[in-house]
Structure 1
Amino acid sequence: MKFENIGIEGLTAELSQLDDILEDLGFVRAAQWDYERVTYDRKFEHKGDVFYLRIQGYAIEGDVGGRYALIKLITPLLGKHYYPHGVEYGEDEHFPSMIVETSEKLLKQAKEEIEKIKQ
């Protein structure tokens, strides 16, 4: 599921600031990066199912493994995890309304915090 109307896509921020903002909202970057791309995940568990809200971006200056990177964010996704195959983001997936609503709130909070550092 894509969250296209939240306003996250296209925002830019320095990597260390993104790390701080998104960590405060419960997202984890862990080892999900390479030198050009970065992925933050927020895990949800609901009635035995596992879902991930994913915010991704790519470096438009510097690199993720270096001391500085300016990251441009792309459209966030919500996916359902299927063991052992991985996460599916398809339109045919069912996402509980509670998970979707919480995801929208978190994305709006992230957008607001990112916009604050731009001022």
Structure 2
Amino acid sequence: MKFENTGLEKMKADLNRLDDLMDSYGLVRAGQWDYERVTYDRKFVLKEGTYYLRVFGYASEGDVGADEAVIQLMTPALGKHYYPHGVEYGEDEVYPKTLVSQCEKILANVSAEIEKFSN
């Protein structure tokens, strides 16, 4: 499930500031990066299954590996994890309404915070 029109897809931010901000909302980059791309994940374990809120981005300037990059954010997504295949984002997935609402609030807060310091 994609979260369209959050405003995040129009924002750029310094990688280090972004890492700190995302972490404060439980969105962790950890090993989800290469030299050009990043993914921030927040895991939700519910009785219906395991879900991941993901915020994607790519380096519009600099190098992620050197911790010196400006990240262009992309459309966030919510996916359901299926062992051993991975995370599915398909249109036919069913997401708990409370989870979707919680993710929308997180993304709105993140967007408002990034707006204060984005390029």
TM-score (norm 1): 0.96
Query: Is 1:102 aligned with 2:102?
Result: yes
**Count of aligned pairs between the two proteins:** 119
Per-residue CA shift, 1:21-79, capped at 9, x if unaligned? 00000011110100000000001111150000000000010010014100000000000
Indicate the RMSD between aligned Cα atoms, in angstroms: 1.1
**Within 5 Å, which residues of 2 pair with 1:20-59?**
20-59=20-59
Per-residue CA shift, 1:64-116, capped at 9, x if unaligned? 00141000000000000001110000010000001100000000000011001
Any conservation in 1 of the 2:32–2:40 contact (CA below 8 Å)?
yes
2:115 alignment counterpart: 115
More helix by share: 2
Query: Which letter does structure 1 place at the counterpart of 2:66?
Result: G
1:87 alignment counterpart: 87
Structure 1 regions of 5+ residues with no counterpart? none
The percentage of counterpart residues that share the same residue type is 60
TM-score (norm 2): 0.96
Question: Structure 1 residue runs of 4+, over 4 Å off?
Answer: none
Query: Which letter does structure 2 place at the counterpart of 1:11?
Result: M
Structure 2 regions of 5+ residues with no counterpart? none
